[in-house]
Amino acid sequence: MNKTTKLTIILLSTLIYVFSVLLVQTGAEPVGATVSNISTVSQVATAGDRDDNGGTITTINVNVSQQNYAWKAYVGNITGTLSLDDANGYTIYEWSLTQSNLSGEIYATRYSSLSWTDIACANSTIIAAEQTAVNMSVTDGDNINATFSKEKHPTFIVAGETLANSSCPVFYTYYNGTSQADAESSKFPEIIIQNSEERLVYVTKLEKDVAAYTVNSTGQNHTYDFQFLVADDDRAGQITTYYFYAELDS
């Protein structure tokens, strides 16, 4: 195995409301992470208006940027430790990790427990099943297949399994306020994988406090360790719960 990672506690700060993760596992595989919410934001649209005289015919062009309720984003930072624990959670020793030596991956899935065996890139059957689960049609222009349509990504190592570079469905969120090239060197690569239970998992690499998708009111970049998207059921009243895992490299 290429990783000897044992993570007991990880805190993620996120821009979308939700949950704490349930599991603490041992061994060279991702473990459940504790999630703390910092803020949840969304666009507030302002309606355009006109004051035209009666008895007139006015030609107008309308431009709309519609918020996409079929997806939601998580961005934030991570802290953690490497430790040796027994089955009761007692620690015999713990190693602190600093920003300079922090690396690994963040995972999100609809499942509260996962087997980390037979890890592979998500195939078309698994993707189709996931789209159905979140009320996406095969013809939707923003479904999972259409979104994860890029070709290039760096090598990922998940629970000791190597996923070769540019072998999985991948896409890139915006970096420094702009879209990114389809290149292995681009920031925040996100891929989708599957396990022995045929469950889909979203994966993104941890960065080290890099410029994120936006800038603040003074023109300075926000910086984060991760940012990624997950699909959501866009029907009224439906919210898809996600569980978070993380794997730190030693």
Name every residue whose Cβ is closer than 8 Å to that of residue 179 and which is 6 or more positions away in sequence. Answer: 172
Q: Is 222 domain-assigned?
A: yes
> Rounded to an integer, what distance in angstroms lies between the CA atom of residue 67 and that of residue 71?
9
**Position 246 pLDDT exceeds 90:** yes
Full domain range(s) for residue 123? 7-42+70-248
Q: Is 101 domain-assigned?
A: yes
Q: Is 63 domain-assigned?
A: no
Answer with the residue of higher pLDDT: 238 or 43: 238
pLDDT, position 217: 66
Name every residue whose Cβ is closer than 8 Å to that of residue 197 and which is 6 or more positions away in sequence. Answer: 111, 114, 115
Classify residue 146 by its DSSP letter: H
> Rounded to an integer, what distance in angstroms lies between the CA atom of residue 151 and that of residue 100?
29
Name every residue whose Cβ is closer than 8 Å to that of residue 136 and which is 6 or more positions away in sequence. Answer: 70, 142, 143, 144, 231
In the numeric block, the tokens 């009243």 are attached to: 237
Average pLDDT over residues 67-74: 94
For the stretch 106-131, what's the b/e string if a residue is b when 16 or more beta carbons lie within 10 angstroms of its beta carbon? Answer: bbbbbeeebebeebebbeeebbeebb
Q: What is the pLDDT of residues 105-152, one digit of tens each?
A: 999 999 999 999 999 999 999 999 999 999 999 999 999 999 999 999
Q: Is 48 domain-assigned?
A: no
> Rounded to an integer, what distance in angstroms lies between the CA atom of residue 201 and that of residue 167?
15
Name every residue whose Cβ is closer than 8 Å to that of residue 22 and which is 6 or more positions away in sequence. Answer: 32, 112, 113, 243
CB 24 within 8 A of CB 89: yes
Q: Is 61 domain-assigned?
A: no
**pTM, entire model:** 0.82
Tokens at residue 58, please? 């006015």
> Rounded to an integer, what distance in angstroms lies between the CA atom of residue 154 and that of residue 97?
23
pLDDT, position 8: 30
Q: What is the pLDDT of residues 202-217, one digit of tens each?
A: 999 999 888 888 876 6
Q: Is 106 domain-assigned?
A: yes
Q: Is 49 domain-assigned?
A: no
Looking at the structure of the chain, the number of domains it has is: 1
Answer with the residue of higher pLDDT: 37 or 52: 52
Q: Is 1 domain-assigned?
A: no
